[in-house]
Amino acid sequence: MLTYSLRRAAGAVPTLFVLLTIAFFMIRLAPGGPFDVERKLPPEIEANLNQKYHLDEPLYQQYGRYVWNIARADFGPSFQYRDLTVNQLIADGFPVSLRLGLLAMVVALLFGVGFGTLAALRQNRVTDYSVMGIAMLGISIPNFVLAPLLVLGLAVYLDWLPAGGLDSWRHYLLPVLTLAMPQLAYIARLTRGSMIEVLRSNFVRTARAKGLPTHLVIFRHALPAALVPVVSFLGPATAGIITGSVVIESVFGIPGLGRYFVQGALNRDYTLVMGVVLFYGMLIILFNFLVDLLYAWLDPRVKYS
């Protein structure tokens, strides 16, 4: 396991390097700059700002300087939040985004696995068709469309829930539901297909032949084996929730890392955008590694050597 972990860590380095390089050059291809405002700055002030942030250097020197700073875990200063560094902005916004993402993931797993199992046990019946129809609807509607619809229906017209902010637990319901819905739908469909296959396997027939109660057959024998495809989906699901939170936090006015990212992209805050992209990339790599380790716990046939 230690050898496998070290090999995965070594393999993550070139991936992050490629991600860093793409983010560095793509943000600079966008029109405008970090100091472009409605009122043009005097040339001497703009020159001083470019000199302070090393933007007057050739692009290859800026790239080398940034790579060296990243190697020291320094994401650099923010161009728009002048008194804060990117490290401080990430430390301030990430706990909010993490809380939101974990809640959405828990909701997606619990309800997705539950609905998928129910559909598999009622295969080709009304329950199965209803669950899969709703799941397909959840897959088809993107987050940025679902969020305004939920705000309009549940917050504006019905006045059941607040439309934004994070002042109480009720403020979490709409953003968590919006983030969880697409992943919940995917997990429900994956669980249904996997559970149907597992229920027809020999070891489940043997468990039933021994006279075990139905709930023990399902939860002790069938469900762990059926969850292997779901676990493999957790990596892309986490990426979907992370990227989805970038938009959702702006829609609901949540002070998380996603809102900093959107504002940084609009203001051409180079270091903030690159820092958030790289930080999210490291999180996704770490989570995919943890998901791979779960395979051995769910399926004894999986070995890491």
**With contact defined as beta carbons under 8 Å apart, do 198 and 204 qualify?**
yes
The pLDDT of residue 300: 60
- Is the model more confident about 130 or about 210? 130
User: 215-271: per-residue pLDDT in tens?
Assistant: 888 888 788 888 888 887 887 787 778 777 778 888 888 888 888 888 888 888 888
Assign 45 a pLDDT band (cuts: 50, 70, 90): confident
Q: What are the C-alpha distances in Å from 239 to residues 168, 197, 260, 261, 288?
A: 26, 27, 18, 15, 10
Mean pLDDT of the chain: 83
Measured distance CA(220)–CA(226) in Å, rounded: 11
**With contact defined as beta carbons under 8 Å apart, do 177 and 150 qualify?**
yes
Residue 14 pLDDT exceeds 80: yes
- What's the CA angle centered on 147, arms 146 and 150, to 5 degrees? 85
Other CB atoms within 10 Å distance of the CB of residue 248: 27
Other CB atoms within 10 Å distance of the CB of residue 171: 18
Assign 41 a pLDDT band (cuts: 50, 70, 90): low
Cα four-point dihedral sign 147, 119, 101, 290: negative
- Is the model more confident about 240 or about 189? 189
Measured distance CA(242)–CA(244) in Å, rounded: 5
The pLDDT of residue 296: 63
* Residue 74 main-chain phi, psi, to 5 deg: -115, 110
The pLDDT of residue 214: 80
For the chain, domains (ranges, CATH) are 95-298 (1.10.3720.10)
User: 267-292: per-residue pLDDT in tens?
Assistant: 888 888 888 888 888 888 887 777 77
Quick one: tokens of 257?
């890392």
User: 210-221: per-residue pLDDT in tens?
Assistant: 888 888 888 887
**With contact defined as beta carbons under 8 Å apart, do 186 and 233 qualify?**
yes
Instruction: Work out the end-to-end distance of the chain between its first and last CA atoms, rounded to an integer number of angstroms.
Output: 7
Q: What are the C-alpha distances in Å from 41 to residues 37, 55, 112, 259, 271?
A: 8, 16, 53, 26, 21
Q: Counting beta carbons within 10 angstroms of the beta carbon of residue 237, is it exposed (0 to 12), middle (13 to 18) or buried (19 or more)?
A: buried
Q: Which of 206, 233, 231, 222 is nearest to 117 (CA)?
A: 222
Other CB atoms within 10 Å distance of the CB of residue 225: 18
pTM summary value: 0.78
Measured distance CA(191)–CA(124) in Å, rounded: 15
